[in-house]
Amino acid sequence: MQTLAQHLQQQAIPESLTQLLLTLADTSKSISQAVRHGALAGILGATEQENVQGETQKKLDVITNDMLKDALQASGHVRGLASEEEDYVVPVSDAGEYLVCFDPLDGSSNIDINSLVGTIFSVLPALQGELTEQSFLQSGRQQVAAGYVLYGPSTILALTVGKGVSFFTLNPDSGAFLLTQDDVQITKDTAEFAINMSNQRFWEAPMQTYIADLLLGKIGPREKSFNMRWIAAMVGDVHRVLCRGGIFTYPTDNKNPEKPYKLRLMYEANPMAFLVEQAGGKATTGYQSILDIQPEAIHQRVAVILGSANEVDTCLEYHAEDYSGDEPTL
């Protein structure tokens, strides 16, 4: 099997990007070890701190964030970084060619029940001039690489450099990421959806109607049965979509009018949308392509609907029928 390093050498990408991606992969191996030790290492449970999102940080949130920061600062290829666990962007090196945005441990609410968690990352080109938050506010179309690492029964890296999507599995014996699936493709049709049904009463009318029709199954207008799956970790739900198709959505809701969206654009929605589009799927807010959004802030949140192309199109038809104004404001 091809190693990750061998695969990247064949992709005709800059050597600096290859080295950066290998740094991210190597750090994920250390994170995988930390996750596997769990309670044995005394790293489960929450801290007494909150991140910029107002969410209580888990111990592993802080640990994995520091691991990635240290590795990226030592890589020599990173101009600056942004993280879910950092209030502000972090300058790294004036000589760095790239900016890295990441969620160090997506699904951290799953840590204490030993369920799926992962690391999500996005790589952008570093722009000339002083490094500020504005430097990061590039649309998802500008990403030069994106991926995630899923820490499950096996540790899997999903990666794109804009030339399709590949899966690599960590060999626990050799410590190498080996190519286990190339040219990943999402099926265009599906009978599976993922959504947090507990928020149903707070959704916009188009999503209410769409999901209600899915639940009616063969006796409804869709005339086929659908199954629901929900892991409560975006990295796990998107991995399932990449593996066997489906539609994943965390839509707009009015549960908290000040926060109508759940997922973060820069280090969750953008990298996942890049992966999904590279695998033949679609990713949208319900009103526009995620990758075409012009970011306004590093911790900006957006609605997310992504997955099998034909099913996403069907969901968009519901939004078009009910849509008669501007998308809800942030």
- Indicate the annotated binding residues for Mg(2+): 84, 103, 105-106, 268
**CA-CA-CA-CA torsion for 233, 308, 192, 318, nearest 10 degrees?**
100
**CA-CA-CA-CA torsion for 37, 171, 7, 276, nearest 10 degrees?**
-60
Amino acid occupying residue 299: H
Phi and psi at residue 40, to the nearest 5°: -65, -30
DSSP assignments along 208-277, one per residue: HHHHHHHHHGGGSTT-S--EE---S-HHHHHHHHHHH--EEEE--B-SSTT----EEIIIIIHHHHHHHH
| Residue 5 three-state SS | helix
Contacts (Cβ under 8 Å, ≥6 apart) of 143 = 122, 123, 124, 162, 270, 271, 274
| Residue 176 three-state SS | coil
Short-list 235, 230, 229, 226, CA closest to 146: 235
The H-or-E segment that residue 27 falls in is helix 15-37
Which residues does the annotation place in the binding site for substrate?
Answer: 106-109, 196, 262
CB atoms within 10 A of CB 299: 19
DSSP assignments along 126-153, one per residue: PPSSS--HHHH---GGG-SEEEEEEESS
Which residues does the annotation place in the binding site?
Answer: 84, 103, 105-109, 196, 262, 268
- CB contact at 8 A, 68 and 74: no
Tokens 């691991």 — which residue? Answer: 67
Name the token pair of 258: 């000040």
